[in-house]
Copies of this chain bind each other. A is one copy, B any other.
Amino acid sequence: MPAYQLASREYQQEDTVIELKTCRIGSGQVVIIAGPCAVESEEQMLGLASTLKEMGVHILRGGAFKPRTSPYSFRGLGEEGLRILARARELTGLPVVTEITDVRNLDMVLKYADILQIGSRNMQNFDLLREVGRVHRPVLLKRGLAATIEEWLLAAEYILAEGNRNVILCERGIRTYETYTRNTLDISAIPAIKELSHLPVIADPSHGTGRRSLVAPVARAAVAAGADGLMLEVHPCPEEALSDGPQSLLPAQLEHLLAELRPMAESLGRRLSGSI
């Protein structure tokens, strides 16, 4: 038994499947999570949400509390952002995922979010991990910027050990010496997680590359490597985005990517949509 026990394949052989209204993460389905880096306004979010719904996206993403490297950057709309997300959910029927950074906001975020995201920078914020472990809402746990696969699974273990078994792992790139990309997406981590753990694992090629032109090929690669889904930043007007513009796809680019993914997924015995 490895140091992560509850998260290990030894402890549980069958894959954990997270059931949501629009998809089943970990079931073999290729689940698409998409939306802007940050919720910027109601108009933007609702318009984009409708577009994404029509394309077949399963889950909406959008940040209300943004951890930013500089204290002088836009930090998100806070609870107002959460309210907008909730309206987007009402409008589209799509579940929403949003980041939580502060234990003191847990009750507030629980009022609005279907999935709680723990960002890279908080992967070892153990107090936060324990708190989200005490509720039963699914948690999307991003890999830390310089976390080993073992440390990542031990971070998941913090959540599982408190009782919450609904953890989704998300590979989002690690820090290396290469500067052409924002991070280096560790593609081998996807099958590695699949052999070490029963938890679902998705990929975030937007943060993983930091460059719009690389998002689609790396998204295809992640699915081919066995990822249970993709988390993609989409913005109607990336050059005006308040954060992460250079890595955001245009809606039409996402549509094109989904059209590429559907036959590829089928060739691998998987599907984006429908009951699996």
Contact = CB atoms under 8 A, between A and B. Distances in A.
A154 B71 CA distance: 7
Contact of A221 (B72, B127, B187): B187
Interface residues of A, number: 67
Given A180-B149, A184-B184, A102 B103 contact: yes
Nearest to A101: B127
State how many copies of this chain the complex holds.
Answer: 4
A190 interface: yes
Contacts of A67: 124, 126
Interface stretch (A25-33, A35-43, A228-236, A260-268): A260-268
Interface stretch (A51-59, A80-88, A89-97, A208-216): A208-216
Interface in A57-82: 67-72
Contact of A264 (B68, B218, B264): B264
B187 A176 contact: no
A211 to B, nearest CB: 8
A124 B222 contact: no
Contact of A224 (B69, B217, B266): B217
Given A126-B67, A148-B180, A188 B218 contact: yes
